[in-house]
Structure 1
Amino acid sequence: MVDVVINKYLETQLALAKQKDLKSSKQNKVSDKSKKAALRISNRQHKFPKSNKDEITPRVVADINSEDDDEYLPTSDDEDSTEIHLPNLQTSSRQRQTIKKITDDGDSNLYKIRLTNWKSSINNIKSGLSEISYMSADIQYLLDGNKNVDEKHELQNGLNIPVYIWKQLYKYQRTGVKWLWELHQIQSGGLLGDEMGLGKTVQIIAFLAGLANTDCGGTWGGLGPSIIVAPATVVFQWVSHFHYWYPSLRVAALHQAGSFCGNHHKLIRELHDSHGILLVTYAGVVKYAKDLQARHWNYIILDEGHKIRNPDTQVSKHVKKFQTPHKLLITGSPMQNSLQELWSLFDFMRPGLLGTNNAFTEHFAIPITQGGYANSTQMQEATALEIAKALKNLITPYMLRRTKEEVQQYIHLPEKNEQVLFCALTQEQRDLYMGYLLSGTVRSILDRDSKVGDPLRARILVALSTLRKICNHPDIYLHEAHEDTEEIDEKSFGHWKRSGKMNVVHSLLKIWQKQGHRTLMFSQSRAMLCIIEQYLQNHDYKYLKMDGTVSVGQRQSLIKTFNDNTEYLVFLSTTRVGGLGVNLTGADRVIIYDPDWNPATDNQAKERAWRIGQEKNVTVYRLLSAGTIEEKIYQRQIFKNFLSNKILVDPNQRNVLTTSTLQGLFTLEELNCEGDTETASLFKHTKITVKKKSKEKDKSNLASTKKKIDAMKKLAKQISNKITTLSNNKDPRELYKKKRDALLNPPIEEEPHNKNTLNDKIVEEPFENVLSELDIINQHVKKDYEEKLLKDIMSTESNVETTDTITTNVADTQNKNDLDRNSCEAIETKLSMIKSTSISINKSRKRKLEITTDHCIENLVSVKKVKHKTEEKCEKSLNDDNYVLTKLFAKAGVKNALQHDVVVGLAEKEKRLRMQEEAMLKAKKAVRAIKFSSK
């Protein structure tokens, strides 16, 4: 009879397993809709215009950069953005109603009016009047109770910096000014590479103000006419900073948004003659190259100097032709994609230091890159280490770089929690993704077929950008697949439930609005930004948006509006609009919707909130679609960070990533048996685990209570038997010894040997230990199987220990008083109460196990766990983000989460380096002390 039951059981389990296999095979099938869409798009992509072939030419597959991607190309800072032909989505222009332009000194009349207002405000303060029409750093210095605003602080070798500026600089910023003065004395260029948000602009202005107050000799004496080249978005931020810190300087913008009206030749001549500061955009350098290069300048300063990282662009070539003895370059990310970029920067400010481009590539770039992969040989690793050390020694004297961790003791920034969320694709996205992977475009790329006509690299780039559109939202992809005659439902277009990452955004904004947090949201794609804007309008979220449609003169005021007005919940922007100088400290939450091939692009987005002036803890979420091309992009970011840190921070680094293949880019990775994505399995030590109040925990609690009840029953029987024997015998002391020995060393009860039959054969294995085929399958599919198995073993051992403690407690009670039958009845009543509590747990699993104390058991002590105040504070600080993660894991389809800072590992490496440097300094001091003592 038993074997028939077992066979039926196994048959049912096999049928269930087959049903699961059928479901999974159905999920892997590609629908006809996605096949048709992929066919239409591949046909259009094969008809790629010849004029665009030259524009899309990435270097190699491993170094594909989104700058070459049409759809993901950032909005131009100097020209209006191209139109995106999407359905007529509603757009908001309310930000333009309350914004004022920041005026520069291009118009000489406006410059004179500003100077008179500034001087009159200073005179009013000195005479005790409260009328102030201008606010600057020196005026604030007088309002704080200081008297001598004209006092100067003299550095070594005679640089005179106004005291009101010097006293407001941090210690590391003063070090930066001294370093700039040393470079000026030897007429050398330099790279100020402080991490983003550490006040590089203020250091440059303080140094230029010092030059304006110092007679340095030479052609111009002090500060001569200077050019600052910056992205259009931060040009007027430079204007406002100059007007605040050093109002006497004339600062004009050579841009259509500036206040100057007339011929640009006149503005250049006036600024050059007045030894002023001329602000030019990178596009303006190319546009006005002949007029600018025709004159000699004292300084040329490149803000966000990584814009010339490609030596073959027109901007790089024109900038290097300027005739000036002093060249400075400012950037928070000196190296972003490759070592050739570092060569281009140094070729501008220190020509010849790193040789020619070909020699540098052959002897430095290639060996360091080859030795950086995890699958490199020992010889390649040793060569890369020594060459990296030599390169770092070459560039260190001409580059000053400080990170926020290094200067934390001065700036006291709040904490930053940066995490990477791997979001699950919706079924529609998965279907479309697989459909495109099976299309003719991807097949021609993998087969390296050149019959299509387009270059292979161009097709690779177009295919990758198409996959990224599917990951962002399926409608961006389907809109391209629609025929011109087909109509698109504008009401359902861009619905958030159809995108895995939009589901996460929906949950995050809903939670953060309740918690009172404000959010910055960045996306590479302008089309995706339109869909997010439509979502915010449909859910009545107040927001501001900054992209190419907002004029350059209004952008700084737009930022100020968001920082000052807390009604706005979200600030939308494309990732690159604004550069690194945009300060958005009004928000304390950042969402990077889609990753960029360049890690510095995503890093600059988070730095707009986590910088000097931020008072709240900042949380950054990078959203990635699990198993897709976005994971490959993130892995490439990690490798580029590693390569940069190997040169700039620590040459003794080892990487865990190997070289990527073309086949790997066009695959959809499945989760492994532990439920991890490919990247999460590579960086398991950074994985974030969220405690879930699951049903299994309640089941384990019920199982433990049942075991305790059984143990108590056995004890009650043993006690009752011993009481009967105690009444019959004459000598109670001997019986007491036997009873105590029996309790301490209970006899081992042998279980009866049952014969089990399977397929008409006798099996020695107990029925409980027989595994069905479904159990065997679940062992390979079940999440965290090994961990749960270990927990079950540990829980059984702890239950055995609890029963042992119960026996010892009962034995101790016997030592004091003879047990009678009344005590047995008390124990039985206690058992019945425990039974009732276990039933209540079964009915409502959310309630905790509570035992009423009507009947007390003697000599049992209840222990209460008390939380310390420090633990409570830590829990409160972690509560916010942990709560968000539990909600995301439960409802929003987040598969894994990694701690980004730990993945990159920069903080720990810098900490070790600082420890080594401090140890070396102590060793030098010790040697000096010995030498001094011997003298």
Structure 2
Amino acid sequence: VYVPPVLAKWLRPHQREGVQFIYECVMGLKDFNGHGCILADDMGLGKTLQSVTLIHTLLKTGITANGAPTAKRVIVVCPCSLVKNWENEFVKWLGPGVVKTLAIAEADRKTVERNLDTFVRTKIFNVMIASYECIRTHVGRLSKHADCCDLLVCDEAHRLKNSDNQTSRALNSLPVRRRVLLTGTPMQNDLQEFYAMVDFTNPGILGTPEEFRRKTLFPILRGREPDASDAQKHKMMQIQNDMSRIVNDFILRRVNTLNAQHLPPKLVQVVCCNLTEIQQNMYQHLVNSKDMQHVLDGKQVNCLSSIQMLMKLANHPSLASMAAPGADGIAKFLPYVPGEGGGRRGDFAPVRPEWSGKMFVLYRLMKEMRKPGNGNDKIVIVSNYTQTLDLIGRMCRENSWGFCRLDGSITMKKRQKMCDEFNDPNSPLVAFLLSSKAGGCGLNLIGGNRLVLFDPDWNPAVDKQAAARCWRDGQKKRCFTYRFLATGTVEEKIFQRQLSKEGLQSVVDDKEQTNQLSTKDLKNLFKLRTGTPSDTHDKLRCERC
């Protein structure tokens, strides 16, 4: 493949290999029936640059005798928070105006429809960048034109893990065979979701959904059960190997250890924080309440809300809702503070980090980090709960630590501005508070070199995405990632479940691996285990300690 020199000079060896691989897939030069490809490189390996290179190459070169370019129109679909970022990437690598891009973001319906019509009916623009929501709403205006696009690129493509949702169906209706999916986390929850992505990329390559379930999914799941027979395990390995052989023709996955030679070192630590006495008393009160006992007896009353309640309590006692199941009388465990009264605290009351094990560790970490001579580090703090971010924001204000916050309420324009300000070494910002659901994907926060995952998510891919915000191209300092867990609580059980889910990854990566931790039943979730530094460490039977 001939890549224009303007881009070729920037590509690292693994990126050159990636561009070659994607090009061969979309041009039909490989031994499989299809023109699709999944680039599943880890976060930070330059999937965007490889895609920009492919798009520019297809727009400028061709393999036919008359020399006509392979592609005239390209559609890039991404989460709404990344539309502007994609437009900036084309300018960054190619210069302004080299590729005519049309970025559709935050416009009214008529403007969006006018832009879509301009893209498909004229030759003014080569590349259209739009959000998944925009394409889902307006796909009819595109799909009625047979030549609406010659290449479809889907960023953060794990959004297509459900083949029945409207977004997947809308994109599938576009008349284009050349499809490139970009995702750092191809395996999210189960093989069914993986099948949906593969079938979108190259329809029918793993058979119909029924055939896949019968011939592949069920035998693999049976072979992974703790009580599986040797014959079932052998059959599972055989099917895994067969599937890996098929999908490896069009899925390229490299892990970010490749980045280690280009980036400063990174240290990942799982930090188990003991509950304070206040938290322990409240936790035991909730677990022993009648409502919780109903859940444990199998009546499943408010099971999810009970789990959420325990997770919020693990973050800070003041987040425990008095209206939640089993919370009657929980306020008595909060210390009486003269002038503040008992019960829940207002927005202007002190945060009191010492009431929470995790919050106090974060407080001490930030205090130590900001001492003169400690390198002036900046920190990214990720949480699943906006109420937790509220508290951390108030703690930053109390200590005069400059911070910004990105959650679902922030518009696209403000998001990019916020990231740029945080990444500026001369800005007064110390902390970037990030909602994992709103900004875990695609953001580049190389201004920070310390990242705290304040609470775990059931889906390991969500945490992986969030954890990759700092250690990526452009980072100049040594990076530290801290995964906070409240010792012995539901958080450790969720982390153990994540480790169990990570075993699924090996099905795609073609490595034999069994789950070290079997799925815990509901009763185990609600147990508080005290008297141990880490429940997870005990269960993994570490031989070094």
Query: Over residues 536-584 of structure 1, what are the superposed CA-to-partner deviations in whole Å (9 max), with x where a residue is unaligned?
Result: 0011111121122321012122111111134321111111323432111
Find the aligned partners of 1:685 and 1:658 in 2 and give their Cα distance.
17
Find the aligned partners of 2:106 and 2:528 in 1 and give their Cα distance.
47
Query: Over residues 808-856 of structure 1, what are the superposed CA-to-partner deviations in whole Å (9 max), with x where a residue is unaligned?
Result: xxxxxxxxxxxxxxxxxxxxxxxxxxxxxxxxxxxxxxxxxxxxxxxxx
Query: Over residues 639-660 of structure 1, what are the superposed CA-to-partner deviations in whole Å (9 max), with x where a residue is unaligned?
Result: 111211x123243223321232
- Could you tell me which residue of structure 1 aligns to residue 176 of structure 2? 324
Counterparts of 1:478-489 in structure 2 under 5 Å?
Answer: 478=321, 480=323, 488-489=344-345
Residue identity in the other structure for 2:194 = L
Q: 1:597 aligns with which of 458, 463, 466?
A: 458
- Could you tell me which residue of structure 2 aligns to residue 172 of structure 1? 14
Find the aligned partners of 1:376 and 1:498 in 2 and give their Cα distance.
47
Query: Over residues 745-788 of structure 1, what are the superposed CA-to-partner deviations in whole Å (9 max), with x where a residue is unaligned?
Result: xxxxxxxxxxxxxxxxxxxxxxxxxxxxxxxxxxxxxxxxxxxx
Given that 1:373 and 1:656 are in contact with CA atoms closer than 8 Å, whether structure 2 keeps it comes out as no
Query: Over residues 300-327 of structure 1, what are the superposed CA-to-partner deviations in whole Å (9 max), with x where a residue is unaligned?
Result: 1110000111223221222222111211
Query: Over residues 436-476 of structure 1, what are the superposed CA-to-partner deviations in whole Å (9 max), with x where a residue is unaligned?
Result: 22233322222223xxxxxx4x7322221121111111211
Shift in CA distance, 652/579, structure 1 to aligned 2, threshold 3 Å: same
Shift in CA distance, 657/302, structure 1 to aligned 2, threshold 3 Å: same
- Could you tell me which residue of structure 2 aligns to residue 431 of structure 1? 281
SS at match of 2:480: strand
Count residues with an aligned counterpart: 513
Shift in CA distance, 438/366, structure 1 to aligned 2, threshold 3 Å: farther
SS at match of 2:542: helix
Residue identity in the other structure for 2:359 = M
Gapped regions of structure 2 (runs ≥ 5): 29-33, 329-341
Residues 1:447 and 2:308 aligned together = no
Residues 1:568 and 2:429 aligned together = yes
Q: 1:182 aligns with which of 21, 24, 27?
A: 24
Shift in CA distance, 438/311, structure 1 to aligned 2, threshold 3 Å: farther
Residues 1:654 and 2:506 aligned together = no
Shift in CA distance, 213/547, structure 1 to aligned 2, threshold 3 Å: same
Query: Over residues 877-919 of structure 1, what are the superposed CA-to-partner deviations in whole Å (9 max), with x where a residue is unaligned?
Result: xxxxxxxxxxxxxxxxxxxxxxxxxxxxxxxxxxxxxxxxxxx
- Could you tell me which residue of structure 1 aligns to residue 43 of structure 2? 196
Shift in CA distance, 586/176, structure 1 to aligned 2, threshold 3 Å: same
Shift in CA distance, 348/307, structure 1 to aligned 2, threshold 3 Å: same
Find the aligned partners of 2:68 and 2:114 in 1 and give their Cα distance.
21
SS at match of 2:439: coil
Shift in CA distance, 180/552, structure 1 to aligned 2, threshold 3 Å: same
- Could you tell me which residue of structure 1 aligns to residue 245 of structure 2? 393
Find the aligned partners of 1:384 and 1:679 in 2 and give their Cα distance.
28
Find the aligned partners of 1:526 and 1:424 in 2 and give their Cα distance.
23
Shift in CA distance, 504/408, structure 1 to aligned 2, threshold 3 Å: closer
How far has the Cα of 1:510 moved from its partner?
A: 1.3
SS at match of 2:306: helix
How far has the Cα of 1:595 moved from its partner?
A: 0.3
Q: TM-score, normalised by structure 2?
A: 0.88
Shift in CA distance, 337/219, structure 1 to aligned 2, threshold 3 Å: farther
Query: Over residues 694-751 of structure 1, what are the superposed CA-to-partner deviations in whole Å (9 max), with x where a residue is unaligned?
Result: xxxxxxxxxxxxxxxxxxxxxxxxxxxxxxxxxxxxxxxxxxxxxxxxxxxxxxxxxx
Q: 1:620 aligns with which of 478, 481, 493?
A: 481
Find the aligned partners of 2:222 and 2:533 in 1 and give their Cα distance.
29
Q: 1:336 aligns with which of 184, 188, 192?
A: 188
- Could you tell me which residue of structure 1 aligns to residue 534 of structure 2? 677
Counterparts of 1:513-528 in structure 2 under 5 Å?
Answer: 513-514=370-371, 515-516=374-375, 517-528=377-388
Residue identity in the other structure for 2:472 = R
How far has the Cα of 1:233 moved from its partner?
A: 1.1
Shift in CA distance, 236/503, structure 1 to aligned 2, threshold 3 Å: same
Query: Over residues 385-433 of structure 1, what are the superposed CA-to-partner deviations in whole Å (9 max), with x where a residue is unaligned?
Result: 2222111111000101111224644xx2221111111111112212222
Shift in CA distance, 184/659, structure 1 to aligned 2, threshold 3 Å: closer
Find the aligned partners of 1:508 and 1:318 in 2 and give their Cα distance.
47
Find the aligned partners of 1:235 and 1:167 in 2 and give their Cα distance.
25
- Give the helix-richer structure, 1 or 2: 1
Counterparts of 1:176-255 in structure 2 under 5 Å?
Answer: 176-186=18-28, 188-217=35-64, 221-246=69-94, 247-255=97-105
Residues 1:265 and 2:125 aligned together = no
Residues 1:472 and 2:472 aligned together = no
SS at match of 2:240: helix
- Could you tell me which residue of structure 2 aligns to residue 69 of structure 1? none
Find the aligned partners of 2:203 and 2:297 in 1 and give their Cα distance.
44
SS at match of 1:654: coil
Residues 1:501 and 2:344 aligned together = no
Shift in CA distance, 477/276, structure 1 to aligned 2, threshold 3 Å: same
SS at match of 1:565: coil
Residue identity in the other structure for 2:378 = R
How far has the Cα of 1:264 moved from its partner?
A: 2.5
- Could you tell me which residue of structure 2 aligns to residue 162 of structure 1? 4
Counterparts of 1:386-785 in structure 2 under 5 Å?
Answer: 386-406=238-258, 408-409=260-261, 412-449=262-299, 456=300, 459-478=302-321, 480=323, 488-490=344-346, 491-492=348-349, 494-514=351-371, 515-516=374-375, 517-566=377-426, 567-644=428-505, 646-671=506-531, 675-685=532-542
Residue identity in the other structure for 2:275 = L
SS at match of 2:179: strand
Shift in CA distance, 439/396, structure 1 to aligned 2, threshold 3 Å: same
Given that 1:521 and 1:590 are in contact with CA atoms closer than 8 Å, whether structure 2 keeps it comes out as yes
Find the aligned partners of 1:219 and 1:395 in 2 and give their Cα distance.
32
- Could you tell me which residue of structure 1 aligns to residue 331 of structure 2? none
Shift in CA distance, 370/633, structure 1 to aligned 2, threshold 3 Å: farther
CA RMSD of aligned residues (A): 2.4
Residue identity in the other structure for 2:22 = L
Find the aligned partners of 2:98 and 2:399 in 1 and give their Cα distance.
48
Residues 1:305 and 2:157 aligned together = yes
Residue identity in the other structure for 1:356 = T
How far has the Cα of 1:535 moved from its partner?
A: 0.7
Residues 1:364 and 2:225 aligned together = no
Find the aligned partners of 2:176 and 2:68 in 1 and give their Cα distance.
12
Shift in CA distance, 494/372, structure 1 to aligned 2, threshold 3 Å: farther
Residue identity in the other structure for 1:501 = K
Counterparts of 1:818-833 in structure 2 under 5 Å?
Answer: none
Find the aligned partners of 1:169 and 1:526 in 2 and give their Cα distance.
39
- Could you tell me which residue of structure 2 aligns to residue 825 of structure 1? none
Higher Cα Rg, which structure: 1
- Could you tell me which residue of structure 1 aligns to residue 145 of structure 2? 295
Find the aligned partners of 2:242 and 2:421 in 1 and give their Cα distance.
48
Find the aligned partners of 1:657 and 1:405 in 2 and give their Cα distance.
26
How far has the Cα of 1:435 moved from its partner?
A: 1.9
Q: TM-score, normalised by structure 1?
A: 0.52
Given that 2:76 and 2:153 are in contact with CA atoms closer than 8 Å, whether structure 1 keeps it comes out as yes
Shift in CA distance, 541/163, structure 1 to aligned 2, threshold 3 Å: same
How far has the Cα of 1:686 moved from its partner?
A: 8.0
